[in-house]
């Protein structure tokens, strides 16, 4: 398991990715779309890290903000502004 880490970083990018899947149970066909939300942070040393996040947290964070990034593996857990 990945440890929980906290770093200081700046938000440099945000993006979404739509994953389209087709579910065909028996005779019924329907499309299921899933959206993934990503935020890219940059440390003062120039290292970039792209993290998956929940849509509510995604909407609350803006490009250019600096703060404390708490994450586990590839998932953003929390962001506290400086």
Distance between alpha carbon 11 and the CA centroid of its chain, in Å?
11
CATH of the domain at 65: 2.40.50.660
What is residue 24's predicted lDDT score, i.e. its pLDDT?
61
Task: Give the structural domain span for 59.
Answer: 4-81
d(CA 70, CA 20): 29
| pLDDT tens track, the chain, 82 positions | 899 999 999 999 999 999 877 666 655 556 677 899 999 999 999 999 999 999 999 999 999 999 999 999 999 999 999 9
What is residue 20's predicted lDDT score, i.e. its pLDDT?
76
What is residue 37's predicted lDDT score, i.e. its pLDDT?
98
Indicate the pTM of the whole model. Answer: 0.85
Q: How many separate domains does the chain show?
A: 1
What is residue 23's predicted lDDT score, i.e. its pLDDT?
61
d(CA 77, CA 70): 5
């Amino acid at each position: 398991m990945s440890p929980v880490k906290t770093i200081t970083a700046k938000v440099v990018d945000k993006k979404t990715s739509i994953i389209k899947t087709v579910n065909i149970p028996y005779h019924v066909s329907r499309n299921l779309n899933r959206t993934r939300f990503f935020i890219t942070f940059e440390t003062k040393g120039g290292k970039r890290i792209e993290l998956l996040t929940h849509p509510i947290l995604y909407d609350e964070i803006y490009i250019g903000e600096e703060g404390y990034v708490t994450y586990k593996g590839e998932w953003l857990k929390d962001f506290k502004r400086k």
